[in-house]
């Protein structure tokens, strides 16, 4: 079409040289003049059409190139993300935690008083080079005074099954349950059936979770150090497989004893007296501390003030932590 536009404009121009475009007497456009004007108009329209078509084609080409570039960029980003996810797997999680209980409930206080009396009597009689009556010192202050003792299995200072049943159950179910949600949830609805993307239970082996007594504050302490929890033992939805899945996610820590209370309060058992199974809900822990490391990477240290406490719909206490929204912020956790 560009060729015809050029031919038309050329012919019209040549015609203007050899013919009169206006009648000299009347001043009107002659027949040949009309032909020339018509030819120029047609040439103009053809030229404009050519320009529009050329513009449209270039715009389409530019758009297609941009779409292709964007698609390639997205593929590259997905590939890099997949590589990064592979290089940052969420596995071999090690957990260090510490929970302290006041044991000031009326049904727990008699045991705490017996424990306090027994521990102080042992300390008064021994320099404590070795374990005595299943009790060993855990921490001393700057003056070498014993501040925390550990209560080992078999110690006569552990709660008894009969007279100190509630304290015994707290000691027995002293583990921790960690619930991971890739998409944050309402912590008050978790008891109502919200399925965590990962559920980790640290309570199957009582030897890994130690029990102790803090003399200064008269509180019972449970702790575990560097406990390995492997992915094959998790209840997982497959939504959290990399450290890159953690930014903006929810971590909910729940006490094993508290969950047991919730379970027994909301279940009916045939042919069994409920009074034998029902546990009592006690005060919240005095403090909670949690340190999490993934493989050999730097961990996250979460103290009591980092958690927010919520009651679930059935009564379980959920200690909730919201991870930072970006991976860079997450890595800055001290």
**Could you give the CA distance from residue 237 to residue 94 in angstroms, rounded to a whole number?**
20
**Could you give the CA distance from residue 318 to residue 11 in angstroms, rounded to a whole number?**
90
- CA 152, 154, 156, 162 torsion-angle sign: positive
Prediction pTM value: 0.73
Confidence of residue 273 (pLDDT cuts 50, 70, 90): low
144-173 pLDDT per residue, tens: 778 889 998 889 999 998 889 999 999 999
- Which residues are CB-neighbours of 253 under 8 A, at least 6 positions away? 97, 176, 177, 178, 179, 288, 290, 307, 318, 319, 320, 321
Residue range 209-236: average pLDDT? Answer: 91
If one compares 212 and 333, the residue with the highest pLDDT of the two is 212
For residues 294 and 173, is the Cβ–Cβ distance under 8 A? Answer: no
101-142 pLDDT per residue, tens: 999 999 999 999 999 999 998 888 766 656 677 887 777 777
203, with CB counted inside 10 A (0-12, 13-18, 19+), is buried
Closest by CA position to 85, among listed 238, 215, 193? 238
- Return the SS3 of 57: helix
Domain boundaries, the chain: 2-85, 91-331
Closest by CA position to 99, among listed 205, 209, 250? 209
Confidence of residue 2 (pLDDT cuts 50, 70, 90): very low
Q: How far is CA 312 from CA 179, 183, 194, 222, 334, in A?
A: 13, 18, 11, 23, 29
Q: Is the pLDDT of residue 38 over 80?
A: no
In the numeric block, the tokens 């758009």 are attached to: 63
For residues 220 and 212, is the Cβ–Cβ distance under 8 A? Answer: yes
pLDDT score recorded for residue 319: 95
If one compares 188 and 86, the residue with the highest pLDDT of the two is 188
């Amino acid at each position: 079409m560009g060729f015809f536009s050029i031919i038309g404009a050329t012919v019209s121009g040549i015609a203007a040289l050899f013919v009169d475009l206006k009648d000299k007497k009347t001043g009107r456009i002659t027949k040949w003049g009309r032909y020339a004007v018509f030819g120029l108009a047609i040439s103009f329209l053809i030229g404009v059409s050519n320009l529009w078509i050329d513009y449209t084609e270039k715009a389409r080409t530019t758009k297609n190139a941009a779409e292709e570039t964007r698609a390639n960029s997205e593929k590259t980003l997905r590939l890099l993300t997949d590589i990064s996810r592979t290089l940052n797997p969420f596995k071999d999680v090690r957990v260090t935690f510490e929970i302290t209980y006041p044991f000031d409930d009326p049904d727990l206080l008699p045991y705490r008083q017996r424990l306090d009396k027994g521990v102080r009597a042992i300390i008064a009689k021994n320099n404590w080079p070795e374990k005595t009556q299943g009790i060993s010192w855990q921490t001393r202050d700057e003056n070498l005074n014993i501040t925390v003792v550990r209560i080992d299995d078999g110690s006569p200072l552990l709660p008894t099954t009969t007279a100190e049943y509630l304290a015994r159950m707290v000691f027995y179910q002293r583990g921790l349950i960690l619930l991971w949600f890739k998409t944050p949830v309402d912590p008050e609805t978790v008891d109502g059936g919200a399925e965590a993307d990962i559920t980790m239970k640290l309570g199957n082996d009582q030897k890994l979770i130690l029990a102790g007594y803090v003399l200064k504050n008269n509180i019972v302490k449970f702790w575990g150090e560097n406990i390995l929890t492997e992915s094959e033992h998790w209840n997982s939805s497959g939504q959290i497989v990399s450290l890159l899945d953690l930014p903006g996610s929810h971590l909910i820590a729940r006490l094993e004893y508290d969950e047991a209370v919730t379970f027994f309060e909301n279940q009916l058992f045939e042919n069994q007296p409920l009074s034998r199974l029902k546990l009592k809900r006690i005060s919240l822990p005095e403090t909670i501390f949690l340190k999490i490391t993934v493989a050999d990477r730097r961990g996250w240290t979460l103290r009591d003030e980092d958690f927010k406490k919520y009651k679930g719909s059935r009564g379980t206490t959920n200690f909730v932590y919201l991870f930072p929204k970006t991976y860079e912020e997450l890595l800055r956790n001290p």
